[in-house]
Every structure is written in structure tokens, then in C-alpha cells.
């Protein structure tokens, strides 16, 4: 918490000092005149494009639903089914 009682959140994106081209070109980006939510195409936007693709891929992966956890009863039933099959093989 800061001195005003506001929660301090961790950054969602960290840009490291070895990302020299990104750090160099990020402040040079300008908004697209037709769509202010986009960056205008320039000769030096490759690094910003790469970050945006990476963020989009990360968001896609993190927005997938988590696999359902197997319940204790389902695990037990699965084990019983396996043991029953093994038993049936032995007696046949």
C-alpha cells in the first residue's frame, strides 16, 4: 500500500534493459490517424509489433478455461474400472 492507502500492483509487462531496440523505438510510435487505438505503420515498428503479438498470444493462452479437476469419486471409479478389467483378464 502507498501512503494514501492505495494498493500497489505489480507491472503486467516488464521490459528489460537488453531490449534496446524496443526501448529506443517505443517512444517514437505515433497513433494511427484513422484509428487512435492503433499504432501507425512506420519503418521502425517491428519491435512494437513483436511485443503486441507476444501479448496477444499470452492473453489467448491465459484465457483458455482450466481443465476440470478430477473429483475423488471419479478417481475412485476410474481405479475400480481398471482393476475390474485386470481381474476380468486374469479369470478369462
| Total count of domains within the chain | 1
Q: Confirm whether 42 is domain-assigned.
A: yes
The H-or-E segment that residue 86 falls in is helix 72-91
User: Binning pLDDT at 50, 70 and 90, where does residue 3 land?
Assistant: confident
81 occurs within a structural domain: no
Within-domain flag for 77: no
Is residue 92 pLDDT above 80, yes or no?
no
pLDDT of the residue at 40: 86
Alpha-helical runs (H) found in the chain: 20-25, 46-62, 72-91
Asked if the structure places residue 15 within a domain, the reply is no
CA distances from 80 to 47, 61, 76, 86 (A): 55, 35, 6, 10
> Is residue 86 a part of any domain in this protein?
no
Q: What is the pTM of this model?
A: 0.52
Length of the chain: 92
Report residue 84's pLDDT band, with 50, 70 and 90 as the boundaries: very high
| Whether the Cβ atoms of residue 85 and residue 77 lie closer than 8 Å to each other | no
- The answer to whether position 52 is within a domain reads yes
Domain that holds residue 25: 20-67
- Tell me the C-alpha distance between 30 and 53, whole Å: 18
Amino acid at each position: 500500500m502507498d501512503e494514501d492507502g492505495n494498493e500497489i500492483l505489480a507491472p503486467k509487462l516488464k521490459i528489460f534493459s537488453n531490449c534496446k531496440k524496443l526501448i529506443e523505438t517505443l517512444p517514437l510510435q505515433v497513433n494511427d490517424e484513422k484509428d487512435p487505438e492503433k499504432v501507425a505503420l512506420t519503418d521502425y515498428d517491428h519491435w512494437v509489433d513483436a511485443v503486441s503479438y507476444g501479448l496477444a498470444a499470452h492473453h489467448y493462452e491465459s484465457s483458455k478455461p482450466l481443465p476440470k479437476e478430477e473429483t475423488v469419486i471419479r478417481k475412485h471409479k476410474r481405479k475400480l474400472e481398471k482393476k475390474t478389467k485386470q481381474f476380468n483378464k486374469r479369470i478369462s
